[in-house]
Amino acid sequence: MPTPSRETAERLDRTDPLAAVRTRYSLPEGVVYLDGNSLGALSVGVPAAVQTAVVENWGRHLINVWTDDGWWDAPLRVGDRVGRLLGARAGQTLVGDSTSVHLFNVLTAAARLRPDRRLLLVEEGGFPTNHYLATSVARILGLEVRRVPMPDMASTLRRLGERVAVATAGAVDFRTGELWDVRAVTDAAHDVGALVVWDLCHAVGALPLTLDADGVDFAVGCSYKFLSGGPGAPGFVYAARRHHGDIDQPLCGWHGHAEPFAMVPDYEPTTGIGRLRVGSPNILSMLALDAALDVFDDVEMAAVREKNVALGDFFIEAVDAHLAGRGFELVTPRRGDQRGSQVTLCHPEAERIMRALNKHGIIGDVRPPELLRFGFNSLYISYTDIFAVVEALRSCT
């Protein structure tokens, strides 16, 4: 295979079927943005949508905006748009509160569906918030938390059997970008009667997901990474329809009530996914997300996935060819089917290198002490961008 070069990158960009989608994002001139796995780039349709929501809708309709402009139903409507990217049929996905709130709610609800089981399994090395929330749920419900390395999750589920109530894990490792087998772990849980709650923060908008087909019970995720919903954009929650009638969540707010405007003192949950609503959502952020999702209307997730695998392959090959002997170690799996939409390198001077990259107009991020993360959003990252990063890394070391 020829050594990766700028000429190769330019040729790949000329034949990239997603190249034109880059114009749907507002990216600063001269910047290579590889931190979209933390905060996605601004979609060009978002400013006008927020302007309309503030000036036209809220400004003119006042309190009637909730009914006249469809704000009350936005969590369900936008939820279904996200659900399409999850491989979920309508009526199973809700957008509204933060990812943390959703995770706390569904971990509790899932554990309550298995009241005679005392173990809550958590992905070892997963995102810290998930550990904190799992520990809190366990403390409230009298459960035992056990941390399990993801390569061992399926076998641990089968070994512990009926002792396990719930397992929770991220579909993609936030540090290394390693992709886990959602279906295999879900099947292992179901084989012993346990439930699984998946964190899709680093998967949604980057990978084709098939939650319904995989038999997933619950899932949560954020919308400000690959979906580009914006800073503090609302999270989403998926609950398989078979669980809707039995969901007993801890945070019972009036938006989830069967008759929210009756203002009665006793709580009666509504039917369907709406019972996972809590209080008034951050509606302006939700409408920004709604506009950002327009980008995906004519984009096939299979094409997105094909490109981010190819971008990762090109980056890894270029690192091998041009950065050998400079202290870099590949952390992410080499095989495209084993990684998400990021590549992580290890280097003892990671923080210094990232500061130097920033001076070159390249934005990635660091996970202390030694991890350099580079997120590849197929909708606005080019092969030329990738090669520019490798050139800059060479000059920094």
Say which range, 2-11, 31-40, 175-184, 309-318, has the weakest mean pLDDT. Answer: 2-11
The confidence score (pLDDT) of residue 346 equals 97
**Residue ranges making up the domain that contains 346:** 6-30+299-396
Q: List, for residues 282-309, the tens digit of each pLDDT value.
A: 999 999 999 999 999 999 999 999 999 9
The confidence score (pLDDT) of residue 115 equals 96
The confidence score (pLDDT) of residue 372 equals 97
CA–CA gap between residue 254 and residue 318 (Å, rounded): 54
Q: Is residue 242 part of a domain?
A: yes
Q: Which of 272, 296, 320 is the last residue of a domain?
A: 296
The one catalytic residue among 25, 127, 236, 238? 127
Q: Which of 270, 296, 322 is the last residue of a domain?
A: 296
Binding site as annotated, residues:
99-100, 199, 202, 224, 254
Residues 250, 122: one domain? yes
Residues 106, 223: one domain? yes
Q: List, for residues 141-168, the tens digit of each pLDDT value.
A: 999 999 999 999 999 999 999 999 999 9
Residues 94, 218: one domain? yes
Determine whether 267 is an active site residue: no
The one catalytic residue among 25, 224, 314, 380? 224
Q: What's the chain's average pLDDT?
A: 96
Binding site as annotated, residues for pyridoxal 5'-phosphate:
99-100, 199, 202, 224, 254
CA–CA gap between residue 196 and residue 189 (Å, rounded): 7
Determine whether 339 is an active site residue: no
Average pLDDT over residues 53-57: 96
Residues 247, 331: one domain? no
CA–CA gap between residue 174 and residue 128 (Å, rounded): 10
Residues contacting residue 1 through CB under 8 Å, at least 6 positions apart: 317
The one catalytic residue among 199, 217, 290, 385? 199
* Residue 219 token pair: 């899932």
Residues 127, 254: one domain? yes
Residues 176, 269: one domain? yes
The one catalytic residue among 373, 374, 383, 387? 373
* 325 pLDDT more than 60: yes
Q: Which of 249, 273, 296 is the last residue of a domain?
A: 296
Residues 78, 18: one domain? no
Q: Is residue 41 part of a domain?
A: no
Kindly give the interhelix angle for 383-396 and 6-14, rounded to the nearest 10 degrees.
160
How far CA 347 is from CA of 32, 93, 178, 223, 246, in Å, comes to: 21, 40, 18, 30, 49
Determine whether 6 is an active site residue: no
Contact 269, 257 (CB under 8 A): yes
The one catalytic residue among 24, 225, 277, 305? 225
Q: Is residue 278 part of a domain?
A: yes
Q: Is residue 384 part of a domain?
A: yes
Q: What percent of the chain has pLDDT over 70?
A: 99
Residues 76, 207: one domain? yes
Contact 4, 387 (CB under 8 A): yes
Q: Is residue 258 part of a domain?
A: yes
Confidence of residue 1 (pLDDT cuts 50, 70, 90): low
Determine whether 139 is an active site residue: no
Pairing of strands 144-148, 93-95: unpaired
Average pLDDT over residues 233-239: 98
The confidence score (pLDDT) of residue 397 equals 87
* 2 pLDDT more than 80: no
Q: Is residue 141 part of a domain?
A: yes
Confidence of residue 227 (pLDDT cuts 50, 70, 90): very high
Residues 272, 144: one domain? yes
Residues 304, 290: one domain? no
Residues contacting residue 336 through CB under 8 Å, at least 6 positions apart: 309, 310, 312, 313
Residues 12, 141: one domain? no
Average pLDDT over residues 196-202: 98
Residues contacting residue 98 through CB under 8 Å, at least 6 positions apart: 222, 234, 235
Determine whether 127 is an active site residue: yes
Q: List, for residues 350-397, the tens digit of each pLDDT value.
A: 999 999 999 999 999 999 999 999 999 999 999 999 999 999 999 988
Q: Is residue 347 part of a domain?
A: yes
* 242 pLDDT more than 70: yes
Residues 258, 346: one domain? no
Here the CATH number for the domain that contains residue 379 is 3.90.1150.10
Q: List, for residues 109-144, the tens digit of each pLDDT value.
A: 999 999 999 999 999 999 999 999 999 999 999 999
The confidence score (pLDDT) of residue 3 equals 82
Q: How many domains does the chain have?
A: 2
